[in-house]
Copies of this chain bind each other. A is one copy, B any other.
Amino acid sequence: MDSTPRGNRLHIAIFGRRNAGKSSLINALTDQDIAVVSNVPGTTTDPVYKAMELLPVGPVVIIDTAGIDDTGDLGQLRVQRSIDVLNKADLVLLVIDAGTGVTEFEEDIVRRCQEKKLPAIVVLNKIDTHPVTEQELADTKEKLGLEPVAVSALTKQGIGELKIAIVKNAPPSWDDQTIVGDLLNPGDLAVLVVPIDLAAPKGRLILPQVQTIRDILDHDAMAYVVKERELKECISTLNKKPKIVITDSQAFLKADADTPPDVLLTSFSILFARYKGDLETLVAGAKAIERLKPGDKVLIAEACTHHRMEDDIGTVKIPRWLRQIVGGELDFHWSSGHRFPADLSDFKLVVHCGACMINRREMLSRIMQVQQAGVPIVNYGVCIAYVQGILRRALSPFPMLQEMLDDVE
């Protein structure tokens, strides 16, 4: 993750009075020092930049602005340096000691954020020692115009909700993920295997295929698009090896057979599981499929209500595959639209749709919601790759995830 350019990282600035618990909040968000991969040294008066991996949000830079309210002690320079951080932040966390409440300082920060159209999240910390009442939440909201998130950095209560709030409030540019471009160098060649079947829209390509071509071109690489029947012919026309072959899942076995073994191979589904969500969590979820037992509760969740075809993937195919693997009946439940069942904790697995109709932000929120309930989650693409035995090969561009998949627990 060190190679992620700083420009792609979500910059989260933490503001708060000296006793608000900023440092412990950062530790709670990032599971303490484990995730801290670099520390830009700073004096005690300067903001501290910490590049880290905030799972499942992704790579972030946390900017710690210590003690902006101590104007008496440290003077105008220190205040100015902290205020300058607002020019570098994508998102502001404003940490308030729940026992102290809102002061002029917090009102000033919120006003400055509004002026800069910078998203801000108000965090009421220390609810372990000062449980907040509904009235206090409402008062805070009225004073600052923002719905506060109540947390305890100490017990980690509310930290999951805070992560969801971060994802929901991240600026639009944060959704600009690359599909495959980060795996390619300029001049590299990617071969796309695109079956044309009844599901393909007349005279068009499906959107993920178009987006992938565009992403390849945006990274100064080249896209060679063929049907599965022409892949062998395509490879034979080339005097250099492609960097990667990306295939529709339904043509995976044929693509695997026709792709030289030293060429990376993956599927559109895997790339989009990464693009739309958090591939690591979803691959971890795939391992939970092995542990399913007959009678286990499985939730199949779709983000939209679509017209169900005869051999519908969510209601027919995936249940059939999972039953075969488990060797018995499972207790399937289905949900669609934006809401999960109120209590997820009884489920042994959530299988989520590919999220074609929702954005990365929403899919990440949903992944986090399931994780907080302690339930493993896969999406359709990862689930199908797993049950068909192709997940390992399809993760060839991501060797760390291949290792994770191989780990015996």
| A residues lining the B interface (CB < 8 Å) | 187, 189, 194, 196, 200, 203-205, 207, 210-211, 213-218, 220-227, 229-230, 233-234, 237-240
Contacts and interface: CB of A to CB of B under 8 A. Distances in A.
Closest A-B pairs by Cβ, 3 of them: A239-B239, A223-B225, A222-B226
A263 to B, nearest CB: 14
Contacts of A222: 224-226, 230, 233-234, 237
A226 B223 contact: yes
A213 B205 contact: yes
A91 B149 CA distance: 67
A360 to B, nearest CB: 12
A208 to B, nearest CB: 11
Given A217-B227, A238-B239, A233 B203 contact: no
Given A237-B240, A238-B237, A239-B239, A211 B204 contact: yes
A56 B234 CA distance: 38
Given A204-B210, A223-B224, 12 more contacts: A203-B214, A204-B207, A204-B214, A205-B210, A213-B213, A216-B225, A217-B227, A220-B227, A223-B226, A237-B238, A237-B239, A238-B239
A187 B233 contact: yes
14 contacts: A187-B230, A196-B217, A204-B211, A204-B214, A213-B213, A213-B225, A217-B225, A217-B226, A220-B230, A222-B225, A223-B226, A237-B238, A237-B240, A239-B239
A332 to B, nearest CB: 35
A189 B224 CA distance: 10
A109 to B, nearest CB: 32
Contacts of A234: 222
Given A237-B189, A239-B237, A225 B225 contact: yes
